[in-house]
Structure 1
Amino acid sequence: MRRRDCLRSVAAGLPAALLAPGLQAQAPAAGAELPVTMPHSLQWDMASDDGKRQYRIMVAVPAGPAPAGGWPVIHVLDGNAFFATMAEAVRLEAFMAGYAPAVVVGIGYRIDAPIDVVWRNYDYTPPTGPAPEYDDRNPGRLAGGAEVFTGFLRQRLIPELVRRVPGASGPACLFGHSYGGLYAVYCFLRAPGLYSAVAAASPSLWYRKGHVLQLAAQVADGPRPAGRLLLTVGQEEQEPDAEEAGFLGPQRSAAMRVLKQVDNLRALGAQLSAQGIDTSALVFPGETHASVVPGAISRAVRFFLHRLPRPDRSPP
């Protein structure tokens, strides 16, 4: 794609006020305070088919023309929280390490908070029984919408992304954390080929008595997962150190040990690897469920992009 066409497609998603000729021509006064912006980015809102969930789609597009096969694409769940971190990690790796530039797509919700605790609870949890389902730990929250959410990604979001950013047609990776990580593993197992790589950080594998672990045990009897899977977790998600345990308190610290975040992740990695599925499992020492996120994002970028062809240039 020519640079002009790429920029036109990006501009199509920007608010009209930002593109008005008068505003474009005005240079800010020296010392003026301006909002921080992300270069080459756009966003739009989409509704679920039933109109109950309002998604906010945030996209960072590489500068310049897309390669012949399209840019690689990274989809980021909980986009309100993690989109900017992923976009900057991708941009830095492309600049410093020479990785291929990639389109980053944050899939969030139309809220100002980092996390929509209600609707992610539905979108990211696998169905385990007849609808409607409710979360065991939060009985007032709907659960079990992962298949519906997969349909939204496949039939609505991906075509709309390519329509707005035509160069976003290369190999794709999915990143999710916590319940997002649970969905990422579920998607890897149940939607083969939707993503060529999946990175699941701190996946909630304990959900519904290890339902996804049971699905993984049945892989040999069904469609084989395609692509590669990266599993990451913080060591202190299962064994908090004294400082973290003091912050959490004895009850929450004991509950974390029962959830077995680290043990479950290692078991899943070993189980899938034993079946010849390209799976990597990594434990970050000294990291908690929250603090592990930047490292997990950085590792996900390398995991996805390092096997793709790099542009022919020397690193800075």
Structure 2
Amino acid sequence: MSRFSLLFIIMLLFITGCQSKSISTNSLIVPNAQTEIFHSKSNGDYKVTIYTPNKPTPKGGWPIIYLLDGDSYFLTTYEIIKSQACERCFLQEGIIVAIDYLNQTRRDFDFLPKPDNFVFETLPNNQINLSGKYGGADAFYDFLTQELKLEMEKRYEINLEQQAIFGHSYGGLFNLYIFLTKPVIFNTYVISSPSMWFSDGYMFKVLSKYLLDNKPGLINPVNLLISVGGAEQSLLSFDRNLPEEKQNLLLKHRQNRKMVDNSRHLFDQLEQAKIYNLNLSYKVYPQQSHKTAAIIALQDGIQINFNVQ
């Protein structure tokens, strides 16, 4: 895992620039990458960083991956693909589209759906978690599919059988939400440490409705990768350096959110449904925290989507 630790440091040093609201480019420290401001008619401006290989387009088009919280994962994705793709490797290069924000993040609003009856989270100190706005997931999906994705397909020749989307935490919840409630437009959904605790387990209600409405299965094969860090429901070794009171609060907080239990329950329900054409996988990454588990999930998603056909 030392290479991934190095990549985390690189990400902290990564600086991207933006230009006008028109579709324009900006040189980055990564060759063949550009950052631009992508204006959504309904959602406002997004910072989008795009990498395209400097090679002839392969037969069938380029694999592509869309990254939520893109600033956090762009460089890691680039390094994984560049280091593992070669003529005799089982991975090939492809297009990276990293989605983020110019100044203040809107990820809470964009990634979270709008339950009919929203339930606030009560923290172990009896405070109410008011983390931000919610309810924009449908609008963000429309931007992603009707604006950004269509623009990428105009610019580049894309392999329509190798399209992935990666999301972690709230992003993982978003990927699950759109898989369960929207037309299937990606071939691989990476659902990393999904925040299933949101609104008192609202996504399990969405899942129940999906399982009732989708008995025939999927038209085309779809990869659904659910993953979680093995230590997301417990204390890590360095957590035990905290004062005992803080340790107890932290442990209770993680146990209340049930990240590992909920991810397993999600997988079990989907597996028991035996959905036709759903290639379902579940991974628990031992001794990984909520943050560190994301990078391993990203690696696994890349290996699924960028494999040589």
Q: TM-score range by the shorter chain?
A: 0.7 to 0.9
Aligned with 1:188 (options 179, 182, 195): 179
Taking a change above 3 Å as real, the CA distance of residues 303 and 246 of structure 1, as seen in their structure-2 partners, is farther
What code does the residue aligned with 1:270 have? Answer: D
Contact kept, 8 Å, 1:182 with 1:204, in 2: the verdict is: yes
For 1:261, the equivalent position in structure 2 comes to 259
Structure 2 counterpart of 1:274: 272
Aligned partners of 2:131 and 2:287: how far apart in 1?
34
- Aligned residue pairs: how many? 269
1:14 is aligned to: 25
The offset of 1:82, in angstroms, is 1.0
- Deviation track 1:249-273 (CA, whole Å, cap 9, x = no partner) reads 3212211011110011111111111
In 1: Cα distance, 2:38 partner to 2:114 partner: 23
CA distance, structure 1, for counterparts of residue 119 and residue 78 of structure 2: 33
More displaced stretch, 219-228 vs 140-149: 219-228
Per the TM alignment, residue 176 of structure 1 is displaced from its structure 2 partner at its CA by 0.4
Partner of residue 59, structure 2: 68
Rounded Cα–Cα distance in structure 1 between residues aligned with 2:248 and 2:256: 13
Gaps of 5+ in 1: 1-11, 19-35, 310-316
CA RMSD, Structure 1 to Structure 2 (Å): 2.3
Secondary structure of the equivalent of 1:215?
helix
TM-score under structure 1 normalisation?
A: 0.78
The corresponding residue for 2:152 is 161
Partners of 1:245 and 1:272 in 2: CA distance = 36
Match of 1:101 among 93, 100, 115: 93
Q: 2:110 aligns with which of 123, 130, 133?
A: 123
8 Å contact kept, 1:135–1:142: no
Match of 1:217?
Answer: 208
Q: Displacement, 1:174? A: 0.6
Q: In structure 2, give the amino acid aligned to 1:262.
A: V
Give 3-state SS (helix, strand or coil) of 2:194's partner. Answer: coil
% same residue: 27
Contact 1:80-1:108 at 8 Å conserved across structures:
yes
- Name the aligned partner's letter for residue 101 of structure 2: Y
Structure 2 CA distance for partners of 1:91 and 1:191, relative to 1, 3 Å: farther
Aligned residue identity for 1:44: E
Partner of 2:291: 290
**Cα 1:135/1:153, change in 2 over 3 Å:** farther
Corresponding residue number in structure 2 for 1:235: 230
Contact persistence 1:134–1:142 (CA under 8 A):
no
How much has 1:221 moved relative to structure 2? 2.2
Does structure 1 residue 151 correspond to structure 2 residue 146? no
| Residue 167 of structure 1: how far off its partner (Å) | 2.0
Q: Secondary structure at the residue paired with 1:204?
A: coil
Q: Is the 8 A contact 2:228 2:290 kept in 1?
A: yes
Q: In the alignment, what sits opposite 2:102?
A: 110
Aligned twin of 1:84:
75
Query: Helix, strand or coil: the match of 1:210?
Result: helix
- CA shift in 2, pair 1:105/1:135, >3 Å: farther
In structure 2, what residue type is equivalent to 1:302? Q
